[in-house]
Amino acid sequence: MSSTLTQSFQDSRTLRESRSAPVVAVSATSDTQPGYSHRVRLNSAYITALENAGLVPVVVPPLTSASAARDILSRVDGLVITGGEDVDPSRYGQDRSPQCGVSNAARDETEIALIREASETRKPLLAICRGPQVVNVALGGTLIQDIPSEIPAALPHNSNDARSTRVHDVTIDEGSRIADAIGETAISVNSFHHQSVKDVAPSLKVTARAPDGIIEGLEPKAEDWWMMAVQWHPEEMNDSPEPWDRGLFRAFADRLTEG
């Protein structure tokens, strides 16, 4: 190949690479009630937040095998675990409380396989709402099955307000990934959960809490795994006057872009 041709080949290759955006797998749920038409579902706010950050989302439904979940993860740049049903308490060795909501066995299986694979391969992971809960369970932790009945003094965490209404404060550890992404250590957040992290998995650490002590943010102890898990819903704050929540998606995108 002549030097001119080589140069031209390299130029087009650089151009193509600079235009390609990171692809992220985004977990979705599925209806499980008998007697209804079943659909795969995902709130479109997640898609908007990820596209606004320059990422290409691929929706992953609950699958019938853990190996399929691992096959998907090997082909994407990052993983997003989204909000949804209560994780089956048998996954963390507890009997089901009467206050525990319905579970989706296929979703539990799929997400736990995705999370364990992401942890082992150090693939970047952003986990939201159910996200920190199922990440904690996948890595050996447990959950509070129902905050109001198990911790009567807790703040109301299952808001009836609009999805973008900030209802309680969160304190974030200085120097944590979450604090760096948000740019603050004290913010207020929306809140739509009746469960939360209880015993923290051995490989994780708490980096954000509500004033009542409820865990609102988790990160890995290992420096070489980029993972942020938040209990609130940053994807519902796409139009918020405060830039805090968009900072989480930007930090995720920055990590994926830097390779």
CB 144 to Mn ion: min, Å? 12
What are the start-end ranges of the E strands in 11-92?
23-27, 29-30, 40-41, 56-60, 78-81
DSSP 158-215: B--S-TT---EEEEE-TTSHHHHHHT-SEEEE--B-S-EE-SPPTTEEEEEE-TTS-E
Q: By CB under 5 A, which span of 97-105, 150-158, 172-180, 243-251 interacts with Mn ion?
A: 150-158
CB 155 to Mn ion: min, Å? 7
Q: Considering Cα of 93, then 95, then 100, then 106, what sign does the dihedral take?
A: positive
Positions in 155-184 near Mn ion (CB under 5 A): 157
Could you tell me the CA-to-CA distances from 80 to 37, 38, 60 in Å, in that order?
26, 23, 10
CB 211 to Mn ion: min, Å? 10
Q: Which is nearer to Mn ion, 63 or 200 (CB)?
A: 200
Q: By CB under 5 A, which span of 72-80, 189-197, 219-227, 235-243 interacts with Mn ion?
A: 189-197
Please identify the residue of the shown chain whose CB is closest to the bound Mn ion: 191
Q: Are strands 168-172 and 78-81 parallel, antiparallel or unpaired?
A: unpaired
Give me the 191-230 binding string for Mn ion, x by CB under 5 A, dash otherwise: x---------------------------------------
CB 168 to Mn ion: min, Å? 6
Binding site for Mn ion (CB under 5 A): 157, 191
